[in-house]
């Protein structure tokens, strides 16, 4: 089977995270048009760091003698657990450096993301078959680090790829759709990552019959522990959805849902990670107030959230049942929970999800 080619119009942090997931994906059996069926087979992209980086990856794989299991990565695995499994499994692996974040707020941050990634040399989509376009080189450099091909022309992405992610800001997307519409063919599948831009809007601005899917990823996709919801347009079949799920599975959880859930997902999970970070910050600062050093408090707070989330996922228990199991009559936990209830934590978080959802819906009405 000819290699599937995947394109990105827009090259921000979430586009880069999705590209890494696609590189991690195991072999997929797709019946989508191959790259050889694209209307323009020219690969007239600019310079990229393909050969040297792939050679380095192969060298690292040989030195490690380590292997990564196929299929979907489990959610919320700790780095030590991943390293342990990589030494005992059977599939070749190598480490990729995780690129920094592309947004202004994260550019100011000194926080570093994990520098270890696992790359699947046997995946259907090789790095050289991922194409990305952006107006400037700032975000494209991250794709070049992954050995992907880059350009400043959106039309070149369409000429070379049939599976195209629309990863621009929502207010820029209408201009992009107007630009690319004349070049769209029945073979193209578009996956929009833009918040607030509905399937109806996408289908209206592209030629009749165009296959369109919406996805909303969240930031933890960068560390393969994200949550993604996808909704299909009226012309999308099972084969396109199945392929997309396989490509995105290394990002974490990937579920199909009605489009009406998209905005709720934004309020719950897209924005929700920020609520969790704020809670983790407060949790750690409480420990600092009581005398624990900050770095240790942050690490324990993060591990506490990680463990709690993993228990929810693996036991299937309702969070209220798990919370009750921690409490003992007259103990420390029930006293602490009483303070959280007095502070209105439950209602405040529910209000936050509602506010973010409503804001996402407002954006979709523009």
Global pTM value: 0.71
Judge if 111 and 165 occupy the same domain: yes
Q: What's the average model confidence in pLDDT over 293-313?
A: 97
Q: How many domains does the chain have?
A: 2
Pick the range with the lowest mean pLDDT from 12-21, 68-77, 182-191, 355-364.
Answer: 68-77
- Among residues 210, 230, 265, which one ends one of the domains? 265
Predicted confidence band at 87 (pLDDT cuts at 50, 70, 90)? very low
In terms of pLDDT, which residue wins out, 279 or 76?
279
Tell me the residue range of the domain where 117 lies.
6-265
Task: Convert the pLDDT of each residue in 326-359 to its tens digit.
Answer: 999 999 999 999 999 999 999 999 999 999 999 9
Among 265, 283, 306, identify where a domain stops. Answer: 265
Domain contains 326: yes
Residues 318 and 233 in one domain: no
Residue 220 and residue 313 in one domain: no
- Which tens digit of pLDDT belongs to each residue from 178-224? 999 999 999 999 999 998 899 999 999 999 999 999 999 999 998 88
**Is there a single domain that holds both residue 162 and residue 15?**
yes
Q: Is 349 exposed, middle or buried (0-12, 13-18, 19+ CB in 10 A)?
A: middle
In a domain, 187, yes or no: yes
Residue-level pLDDT at 272: 96
The pLDDT of residue 3 is: 74
CATH number of the CATH domain containing 218: 3.40.50.720
Helices of type H across the chain = 13-24, 50-64, 79-88, 104-108, 137-145, 154-160, 173-180, 199-205, 238-248, 262-265, 272-289, 294-315, 319-326, 332-342, 345-364
Could you tell me how many residues make up the chain? 366
Domain stop point among 232, 265, 298 = 265
């Amino acid at each position: 089977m000819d290699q599937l080619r995947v394109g990105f119009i827009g090259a921000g942090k979430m586009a880069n995270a999705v590209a890494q997931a696609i590189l991690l994906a195991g072999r997929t059996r797709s019946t989508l048009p191959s790259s050889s069926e694209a209307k323009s087979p020219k690969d007239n992209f600019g310079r990229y760091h393909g050969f040297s980086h792939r050679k380095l990856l192969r060298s690292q794989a040989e030195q490690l003698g380590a292997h990564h299991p196929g299929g979907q990565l489990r959610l919320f695995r700790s780095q030590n657990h991943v390293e342990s499994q990589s030494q005992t499994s059977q599939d070749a692996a190598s480490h990729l450096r995780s690129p920094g974040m592309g947004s202004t707020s994260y550019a100011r941050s000194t926080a570093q993301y994990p520098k270890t990634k696992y790359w699947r040399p046997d995946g259907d989509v090789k790095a050289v078959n991922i194409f990305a376009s952006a107006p400037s080189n700032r975000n494209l450099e991250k794709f070049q680090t992954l050995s992907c091909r880059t350009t400043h022309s959106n039309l070149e992405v369409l000429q070379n790829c049939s599976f195209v992610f629309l990863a621009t800001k929502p207010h820029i997307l209408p201009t992009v759709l107007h630009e690319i519409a004349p070049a769209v063919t029945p073979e193209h599948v578009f996956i929009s990552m833009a918040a607030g831009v509905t399937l109806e809007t996408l289908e209206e601005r592209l030629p009749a019959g165009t296959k369109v899917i919406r996805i909303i990823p969240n930031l933890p996709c960068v560390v393969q522990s994200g949550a993604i919801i996808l909704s299909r347009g009226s012309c999308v079949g099972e084969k396109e959805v199945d392929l997309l799920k396989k490509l995105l599975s290394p990002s974490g959880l990937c579920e199909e849902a009605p489009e009406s859930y998209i905005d709720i997902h934004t309020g719950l999970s897209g924005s929700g990670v920020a609520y969790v970070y704020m809670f983790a910050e407060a949790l750690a600062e409480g420990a600092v107030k009581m005398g624990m050093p900050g770095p240790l408090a942050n690490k324990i707070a993060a591990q506490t959230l990680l463990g709690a989330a993993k228990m929810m996922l693996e036991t299937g228990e309702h969070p209220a049942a798990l919370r009750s199991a921690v409490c003992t009559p007259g103990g420390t936990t029930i006293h602490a929970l009483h303070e959280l209830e007095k502070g209105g934590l439950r209602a405040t978080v529910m209000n936050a999800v509602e506010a973010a959802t409503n804001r996402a819906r407002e954006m979709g009405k523009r």
